[in-house]
Structures are given as C-alpha cells and as structure tokens.
Amino acid sequence: MTARTALSAATAPPWRLLATGWPWRSVAYLLAGAIPAALPLALLIGIDLLRPDLTALLVLLLLALLVVIGAGPLLVAFERRSLRLADPRPLPPRPPLRLRDAAAWREIGYAVLNACVTWWLDLAVIGLSLFPPLLLMSAPLQPSGPTAELQAGPWLSALLAVAGLVLLPLAAYPITAWAGVRAAITRTVLAPSDTELVEVLRSRERLVDGFEAERRRIERDLHDGAQQRLVALSVTLGLARLRVADADAVAPLLDDAREQTALALTELRELIRGVHPQILSDRGLAAALRDIAGRSPVPVDLELRLAGRLPAPVEAAAYFAANEALANIARHSGAARGRMSAWTQDRLLLLEIADDGTGGADPARGTGLTGLADRIAATGGRLLLASPAGGPTLLRVELPCQR
C-alpha cells in the first residue's frame, strides 16, 4: 500500500521508505520552512544595523512583530502550499479573513510562530540526522593524529567512510518522521475537525511504536554489523603489529590505527547504547536500570519491584527517563547520593528518581526534561517534578503498562 503522507511513510517497513520519494519530499518541506523566516530575520538585521537605545529598541521590536503579524495571511498561504510536500491531501478552502474569526487568527498565530521559531527546529533535525554519517564519510579527509606521521591508515579511513555510507540512509527515518509530525500538526491547525484530531493522536501512537521498532533494528544492525567489523579490524591490526619490528617505520602507524579503532569501538558502543540498549532488549527494564545505576558517577540506591517484562514502548520510555534523570543528577545537582525506585501498581509503571542535591531543576533551562516529558506523554504517561531551591529533587514518571 502506497503511503499517503510522510507520517504514514515513516511508520512503514524500512525498505519501503527508502524506495519512495518521501525522504526527499520531507527534506524539501522542512527546508521550505526557512523561507518565511526571511521576513523576521530581515527586520531583526535592520534593527541591529540601526543600533537603537533601549526604548527605541522595544518600539522597533513591537513594530517588527506587527509587520510579521500583518504578513500573516501570506504566511498562512505559504504554509498551506508547502504542506502538500509532506501531506498532499487537499485542505478545505478558507473564507476571507475576518477580525472576529478565531480560526483565522489561530492560523496566523501558528504561521507566525513557524516563521519566527519552528524553522530552527526543522533545520536542527536535518543537521543532527545527517551529521554522524557525514562525519564518518569525511574520515579520509581528516588527520587523526598530532603529526602527519600519525595519520590514520587508509584502511581505517576507508572503513569509517564505508560506515558513514551505510548510516547515511538511516537519516531518512528521523527526517521523514519529523516532517510527518510537523505536517500532521499543521493540518490539525489549518483544518481542525474531531475526526482529524483523533487520527493525529492515533498516528502519534503508531509513530511511537514505529520509532521503537526502528531503534531496535538499528541497534541490532550496528551491534552485529559495524561493531563486529571494527573488532575484526582491531584483531587484524594487532596481528599485523606483531609481525612488524618496533624500529620499522610502519609500527607507529599500526599503533595509531589500533588506538583509533579502539576509540571508534568505544564511540560506537555509546551510540548503540543511546539508540536502544542491548541489555533492555535481552534482559528487561530491571536489568537495564541496574546497569545505568551502576555506571552513574553518583552512587544510587535501588529499589526495584518489577516482575516479568513490560510492553517495549513502556520499557524504553522508562529507561530513557531514568538515564536522563541520572545524567542530570551527575551534571547539575551537586548531589552526594541518589535513589531510584520502580514498581507496578494498578496497571501503571511508577518510576521515581530522587537526589539530595541543591534542587532548582527547571525544564526551561535545557536539562532535557521537556523532551523527556513529550516522549512520556506520547506513550500516554506523565512526568512530575518537585525540585525546590536547596533540594531535594524528586522526579516521578507514571506510564500505563497493561501487560
């Protein structure tokens, strides 16, 4: 069955997505979002060139905002046309703008928000998705040592470049998925209806399931493919080094190649753990929580009352919530000790992470809690936080988990 939107394409089997034009359409849709941003950027650059004082700056910013809002109908028209790239289904025609039409003002507000803010997120998704494979592909062009004599050997550079080529198609999945979500939100704003809203919510559930399945597949491919080849390369380099005398000019190159291979293995293992930890797939949530608690720089007391396996999306959401919480404790809290508890109750998985640090955790300061709350909300759960200034901090996650 042919996908009708980027969102449905992102939930299709991987071989189908790569054989369609949806990844390219998704990139075009996300890049098109930067076109309306030219207006607010031009206004901001003009204000900056004027170098006004504080009072004049506030007046100019207010005028610039009014100009952008005045261009709202044009921005809405652009949103409706660009939406066809990610969601070709026709939109109902809009009546002429009326000052008392709340729906029209909602559309204008959404278009202005996209022109001023959201396009940064679109570019960030594209950049973060393409950066790892492009970085690996550029390995032959990058020196790997402090001097020319310690550059990586051609075999290692070629292997990293091949790994980048293998990973490059995987960037299509997050780009297409994000474009599908953006298009679904845009359609909901531009053509709201009860049936459409239900479909968006259902699509979000399908997308979460598809994400988790794809994360597990990528983890298996990296673990069984690229990692095993790097291990074999390290062994081969070690055997080659044994056959070369220490005084040989090739010996330093072989030693450096082995070090670079070891570093690549370490980074790949960290990447695999971030995509989907093998221990979570093989042994379940309790073992995975013990693993991240054991690796935490801050000592963590565990109290786990989990029997049997839970649904895969629930286990994944709980794992990444715990991982993010323990990382925040290590980076920001100044805590001497933490505590993590997990148990099931009334068809809920309850996860609590606490610390004795300085408190004052704020999701608005970029600690990853906002994205974590979105991920948990996508599975039907909720995230609660209590972190008064001076501490302690308590983070509680509630996830529905019917077995």
Tens digits of pLDDT across the chain (403 residues): 455 777 777 777 666 777 788 888 888 888 888 888 888 888 888 888 888 778 887 888 888 778 877 777 788 888 888 888 888 877 766 655 555 666 677 777 877 888 888 888 888 888 888 888 888 887 777 665 444 444 556 777 778 778 878 777 788 888 888 888 888 888 888 765 444 434 444 445 555 555 555 555 565 555 555 656 666 667 777 777 777 777 777 777 777 777 777 766 665 565 555 555 677 777 888 888 988 888 888 899 989 888 788 887 888 888 888 888 888 888 887 888 899 999 988 788 899 998 888 877 776 665 567 777 777 877 778 888 888 877 788 888 888 886 5
Residue 231 counted as domain residue: no
Q: Is 81 exposed, middle or buried (0-12, 13-18, 19+ CB in 10 A)?
A: exposed
C-beta of residue 184 within 8 angstroms of C-beta of residue 203: yes
169: part of which helix (H) or strand (E)? none
Residue 62 counted as domain residue: yes
Question: How do residues 153-182 score in pLDDT, each as one tens digit?
Answer: 677 777 877 887 877 778 888 888 888 888
CATH number of the domain to which 292 belongs: 3.30.565.10
Residue 250 counted as domain residue: no
What's the number of domains the chain is made of? 2
Residue 27 counted as domain residue: yes
pTM score, whole prediction: 0.43
Residue 366 counted as domain residue: yes
- Domain of 354 in residue numbering reads as 283-400
Residue 314 counted as domain residue: yes
DSSP 266-326: HHHHHHHHHH--HHHHHH-HHHHHHHHHHH-SS-EEEEEE--S---HHHHHHHHHHHHHHH
What local confidence, expressed as pLDDT, does residue 340 receive? 92
C-beta of residue 257 within 8 angstroms of C-beta of residue 155: yes
d(CA 358, CA 191): 47
Residue 152 counted as domain residue: yes
- Domain end call among 177, 194, 217: 217
C-beta of residue 73 within 8 angstroms of C-beta of residue 95: no
d(CA 358, CA 347): 33
Residue 238 counted as domain residue: no
Residues 294 and 180 in one domain: no
Residues 288 and 208 in one domain: no
- Domain end call among 189, 217, 245: 217
